[in-house]
C-alpha cells in the first residue's frame, strides 16, 4: 500500500520554465553570448543548474568564466524566480487532498536547495514538510541519495513510496531508489520519452494520481 508520494518540482508541481529562461538569458547576456529560446531551455533542464548553464552556453568557457556565469544565473534567479512561475492546474488541490488523506509528501529536485525551499514556502505555504534540492552534501538525481534522504526525514520506507516526475531523470531516479515512477505529461518532456524510460504509470492530469494510489489505474 502506498502512503508516501515524492514529487519532482520543475515541470511536475510548478511551471518554472519562463523564469528559468529569463535568468539563463540574463547570465548569457553578461558574456555577450547568444540568447536561447524557451523551447531550448525546456530541453536543457533536468540535471541541475550547472548542466543547464553548460548546455545553454555555445562557447567553451574557462573554469572561472563558467563559475561566474553560474553565479550570475543563481543570483538573478533567486531574485526573479517568482515572476512567471505558477503551480500547474490542479496541483494545489492535489496536495491538499493528499494531506487530508494522510499521505506523506516530499519534494526532491535538482534545482539548488535554497530555491527549492523558497518555492515550497511561496507556492505551497510549506505544505511539504520535506523539500530537498541540489547541494554539496548530497548527490543529485538520478542518484537515489536525495530520495533516500527524503524518506529518512519523513521516517518512512521506500516500500510504501512512489515517485512522481516529468522527465527521464525522474524515471531513472525513481528506479535507482527502488521506487515505481508516475510520469506526468504536462511538464517538460513527452509521453513517448517517459514510456521509453520505463515509467510504470503515465498520468495526464493531477487527479489521475489518485487512481494510481488506489490501484485503479493499470500499469503502462
pLDDT-derived band at 46 (thresholds 50, 70, 90) equals: confident
Q: Which three cell numbers stand for residue 125?
A: 505555504
Domains of the chain and any CATH numbers? 4-15+86-213 (3.40.50.1000), 17-80 (1.10.150.240)
In this structure, the strands spanning 14-15 and 104-112 are: unpaired
Q: Please list the residues that pair with 5 across neighbouring strands.
A: 105, 162
Residues 190-203 have a mean pLDDT of 95
Nearest to 210 by CA among 89, 95, 86: 95
Nearest to 170 by CA among 160, 183, 159: 183
Does 50 score more than 70 pLDDT? yes
- With the C-alpha atoms ordered 95, 97, 100, 101, is the resulting torsion angle positive or negative? negative
- Per the omega criterion (within 30 degrees of 0), is the bond before 142 cis? yes
pLDDT-derived band at 121 (thresholds 50, 70, 90) equals: very high
pLDDT-derived band at 76 (thresholds 50, 70, 90) equals: very high
Amino acid at each position: 500500500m502506498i502512503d508516501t508520494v515524492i514529487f519532482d518540482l520543475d515541470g511536475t508541481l510548478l511551471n518554472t520554465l519562463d523564469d528559468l529562461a529569463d535568468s539563463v538569458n540574463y547570465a548569457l547576456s553578461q558574456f555577450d553570448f547568444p540568447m536561447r529560446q524557451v523551447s531550448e531551455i525546456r530541453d536543457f533542464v533536468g540535471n541541475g543548474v550547472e548542466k543547464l548553464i553548460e548546455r545553454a552556453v555555445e562557447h567553451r568557457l574557462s573554469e572561472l568564466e563558467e563559475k561566474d556565469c553560474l553565479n550570475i544565473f543563481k543570483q538573478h534567479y533567486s531574485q526573479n524566480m517568482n515572476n512567471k512561475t505558477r503551480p500547474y492546474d490542479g496541483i494545489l488541490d492535489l496536495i491538499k487532498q493528499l494531506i487530508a488523506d494522510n499521505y506523506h509528501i516530499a519534494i526532491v529536485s535538482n534545482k539548488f536547495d535554497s530555491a527549492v525551499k523558497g518555492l515550497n514556502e511561496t507556492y505551497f505555504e510549506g505544505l511539504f514538510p520535506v523539500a530537498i534540492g541540489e547541494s554539496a552534501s548530497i548527490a543529485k538525481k538520478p542518484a537515489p541519495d536525495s530520495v533516500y534522504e527524503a524518506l529518512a526525514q519523513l521516517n518512512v520506507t521506500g516500500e510504501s513510496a512512489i515517485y512522481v516526475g516529468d522527465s527521464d531523470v525522474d524515471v531513472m531516479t525513481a528506479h535507482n531508489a527502488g521506487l515505481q515512477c508516475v510520469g506526468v505529461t504536462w511538464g517538460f518532456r513527452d509521453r513517448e520519452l517517459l514510456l521509453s524510460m520505463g515509467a510504470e504509470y503515465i498520468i495526464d492530469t493531477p487527479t489521475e494520481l489518485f487512481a494510481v494510489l488506489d490501484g485503479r489505474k493499470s500499469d503502462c
